[in-house]
Amino acid sequence: MDPLSDVLSLLKPRSYMCGGFDMGGEWSIRFSQHEGIKCYALVSGQCWLSVEGVPDAVRLETGDCFLLPGGRPFHLTSDLALTPVDARTIFQLPLNGAIRAINGGGDCFGAGGHFAFTGKHAGILLGVLPPIVHIRRESDKAAMRWSLVRMMEELRERQPGGFLVAQQLAYMILVQALRLHLAEGVRGGVGWLFALADKQMSAAIGCMHEDPAHRWTLQKLAERAGMSRSTFALKFKETVGSSAMEYLTRWRMLLAGDKLADSSDPISAIALSLGYQSESAFSTAFKRVMGCSPRQYSRRNPASPSHGEGQTARADQLEPIAG
C-alpha cells in the first residue's frame, strides 16, 4: 500500500453515520463538538459554513466538499445573519442512512459521513490537517462527482443494501478529499502528509512503509529518493519535522502498537517482524516512542475477539448525520 493508505488502515476509520440533509427556505443549524472527522459534499445549492475559532466563514457551492477534522463546533446556514438552532432540536430521529428535510427541502442538498477511528493514533492524521479542508476547484469537484451522484441515489432510493453502499461511498469521498487536498497544495507545511506532495520525500516514505523491517540506512533512503545523503537528510527534516531514522522508528512502533492491541502475537515475534533481532532492543525503542513498555501497552489495550468490529453505537446514541 501507499503511505496514506497505510495510515488510514492503521487508524481503522469506520463510518458510523452517513446520510444527507435537504434544506429549504431560510435555515441555520449549529452542531456540537465531535470526535473523528466529518466529511460532506454539497450535491446541489449553496450555503455557508462557519467553524468555531476560524475567523472567516466559508461559502459552499454546488459540488464543493469539506472535511472537519478538528472536532470544533460549527454551523451551516443559508444566511450568516440568522440565529442558529441546535441540531439536536431538529433531528429528533437520527436514523443512519436517511435524508433529513428542513422546510420541505429543495434548495440545498448535502451528503456525507462522520468517521470514528477505532485505531489508537488518530492524531497522526487529524493533527496535520487544518480546521477546514475545502475542496472547491472545478477539476477536483469533477473527480468526485460520480461518488456524490451515486451516494445521493442510494440515500434517496433506499434500496436493499443501500446503507452499506452509501457508507463505502462516504469512505471513498473521504479518501478522495484527502488526496485532492494533498495534491492541491499543502506546500510550506511540515509533517508526513505534506511530505507526500514531494516526489522525492514520498519515494523515501513509501519505501519505509512498504518494508518497515528492512535495515534502512540514510544512504539507502537517499538513493531511493535520488538525492545525496546530506541533501536528503536536510530536506527530510525540513519537510517532515523529524529525521528519516526517527520517522522510521516511530512508524515501526505504531505498527507494533497496533499488533499488540489487535493480535495475540508474542512480543518477540512482533519485534522480529519489524526488523529487531533483539526483544530488548525493540522494547527500548518502543518505550522511548510510545512512553511505556510493550507489555504495559498490551495490558492497557487488550485485543478484543472482534479486533475493533461490532462497536457501532445504538441509533439513540448517535448524532444526526449533519451533526
> Which band of pLDDT confidence, cut at 50, 70 and 90, is reported for residue 321?
very low
Q: Which residue has the cell 504495559?
A: 296
Mean pLDDT of the 123-129 span: 79
What are the residues facing 51 on neighbouring strands?
74
pLDDT score recorded for residue 188:
57
pLDDT score recorded for residue 304:
45
pLDDT score recorded for residue 159:
81
Element (H, E) at 155: helix 138-157
The residue that leads in pLDDT, 27 or 99, is 27
User: Is residue 48 within 8 Å of residue 59, measured between CB atoms?
Assistant: yes
**Angle at the Cα of 174 (from 170 to 175), degrees rounded to 5?**
120
- Residue 135, φ and ψ in degrees, nearest 5: -100, 115
Q: Which residue has the cell 440533509?
A: 21
The residue that leads in pLDDT, 127 or 242, is 242
Mean pLDDT of the 185-202 span: 76
Q: How far is CA 231 from CA 200, 201, 221, 284, in A?
A: 11, 11, 12, 30
> Which band of pLDDT confidence, cut at 50, 70 and 90, is reported for residue 187?
low
Mean pLDDT of the 148-173 span: 80
> Which band of pLDDT confidence, cut at 50, 70 and 90, is reported for residue 91?
low
DSSP structure class, residue 198? S
Q: Please state which CATH class domain 192-300 belongs to.
A: mainly alpha
Within 8 A by CB and 6+ apart from 143, the residues are: 176, 180
Cβ neighbours of 215 (radius 10 Å) = 8
Mean pLDDT of the 147-156 span: 78
User: What confidence tens digit (pLDDT) does each residue in 40-56 have?
Assistant: 889 899 999 999 999 99
User: 3-184 with 192-300: one CATH topology?
Assistant: no
**Position 303 pLDDT exceeds 60:** no
Mean pLDDT computed over every residue of the chain? 83
User: Is residue 186 within 8 Å of residue 193, measured between CB atoms?
Assistant: yes
What are the residues facing 116 on neighbouring strands?
14
- Residue 256, φ and ψ in degrees, nearest 5: -65, -45
What are the residues facing 111 on neighbouring strands?
20, 41
Provide, rounded to the nearest whole percent, the portion of the chain with pLDDT above 90: 39
Element (H, E) at 140: helix 138-157
Sheet holding 47-51, edge to edge: 58-60, 47-51, 74-77, 28-31, 85-86
pLDDT score recorded for residue 74:
95
User: What confidence tens digit (pLDDT) does each residue in 212-229 have?
Assistant: 999 999 999 999 999 999
Within 8 A by CB and 6+ apart from 46, the residues are: 59, 60, 61, 62, 108
- Please give the CATH architecture assigned to the domain spanning 3-184: Sandwich (2.60)
**Position 183 pLDDT exceeds 90:** no
Domain boundaries, the chain: 3-184, 192-300
